[in-house]
Structure 1
Amino acid sequence: MARKSRHHYRREDQAAELDITTFLNLMVVLIPFLLVSAVFSRISIQELNLPTEAAGGAKLERPQLSIEVIVRKELIQISDGEKITATIRNVANDYNIKELSRQLQELKDKNPETKEATLLVEPDIDYETLIHIMDAVKVVEVKKADGVGFDRKVLFPQISVGDAP
């Protein structure tokens, strides 16, 4: 029996080439797209205060009027801290934001020094509704005297948020 000779070839250690052209092509397309789309997405931060009783801090002097806007599934109530002064029912299964703005504007006209309001919300109220009501509590758009355009009037800019009773 004849022995077969085995040939052992020695591999030369070569540096492996990394083909990144497809990755670079992807980046060339993706980066400008992300930069352009980032301009259109804006995030605004809403500054909120916790109610002073819930925060556990020292009791501060409270203004004469304590405005509370209570948001329930079927209505919105406005309270002076002691009793409910107004009840605004939903119109066509949606909150009546215009009536809320009108009621709050009347309260602001009677108490111009008051800047705080507490927004008490039931747990099943969605986030978008909460933001619309917060906007209505903060500012109202009033028609200008000449009838052209609107002015923004600040109502109660310092909003505290809590759970509805």
Structure 2
Amino acid sequence: MARRRWRKKESLTAGTDIMEILNLTPMMDVFTVLVVFLLITAVFTSITIMDLSVPTSAGGPDSNRPNFAIEVIVRKAGLEIANGRTVEATIPKKDDKYDLKKLSEMLVQLKAQYPEKEEATVLMEPKVEYDHLIQVMDTVRGASVRPEGSQEVENTVLFPKISIGDAP
């Protein structure tokens, strides 16, 4: 009886080749479609890279640099504008959202006072959402300004060189 079972098994696999059992064609088809799909979607993907710098540690005073440093501090309660030493202005949240319009107006005034200044530092408290940081950085980088006597809105570059860091 045991001999019959063995012969039955032997007769099932006797004439078959291992290559007939393992068919790789469907898997190759899937990989071909996957490669074509990835190549097509890679063309439409664009990644924006922003040039950022980390604030350097405070060294000795540099006589070539002005003492005024623009710092925008993103806190849970609102925004603060500092000059590097003291807080100059506080912008509280409006309806649980940051008042980016008011921030933009204040930064335009600062740019008018310091037209040669291109650097600004954005400092953020822990637990502040990343999206808020990006919105503040966009506001610091540029603003939409309507010149007096004109109906058109111009995009003005404010402080394009942004450094980021942790709020004190």
> TM tier, shorter chain?
0.7 to 0.9
- Partner AA of 2:135 in structure 1: H
Residues 142 and 151, structure 1, Cα contact 8 Å, conserved in 2: yes
For the pair 1:81 / 2:90, whether they are aligned, the reply is: no
For the pair 1:98 / 2:101, whether they are aligned, the reply is: yes
Residue 71 of structure 1 corresponds to 74
Residue 158 of structure 1 corresponds to 161
Residues 52 and 59, structure 1, Cα contact 8 Å, conserved in 2: no
- Partner AA of 1:78 in structure 2: I
The structure 1 residue matched to 2:137, chosen from 129, 134, 137, is 134
TM-score (norm. length: structure 2): 0.77
For the pair 1:120 / 2:120, whether they are aligned, the reply is: no
For the pair 1:27 / 2:31, whether they are aligned, the reply is: yes
Cα distance in 1 for residues equivalent to 2:115 and 2:75: 27
C-alpha deviation, 1:40, in angstroms: 4.1
**Matched residue pairs, number?**
156
1:29–1:59 Cα change, 3 Å: farther
SS at match of 1:130: helix
1:40–1:127 Cα change, 3 Å: farther
Q: State the Cα RMSD in Å.
A: 2.9
TM-score (norm. length: structure 1): 0.78
For the pair 1:147 / 2:151, whether they are aligned, the reply is: yes
| Structure number having the greater helix percentage | 2
The answer to which of 101-110 and 139-148 deviates more is 139-148
- Any idea what the Cα deviations from partners look like across 1:92-144, whole Å, max 9, x if unmatched? 11111111111101000111011111111101111111111111111112236
Cα distance in 2 for residues equivalent to 1:82 and 1:25: 64
C-alpha deviation, 1:39, in angstroms: 3.9
User: Structure 1 regions of 5+ residues with no counterpart?
Assistant: 1-6
1:59–1:20 Cα change, 3 Å: farther
SS at match of 1:109: helix
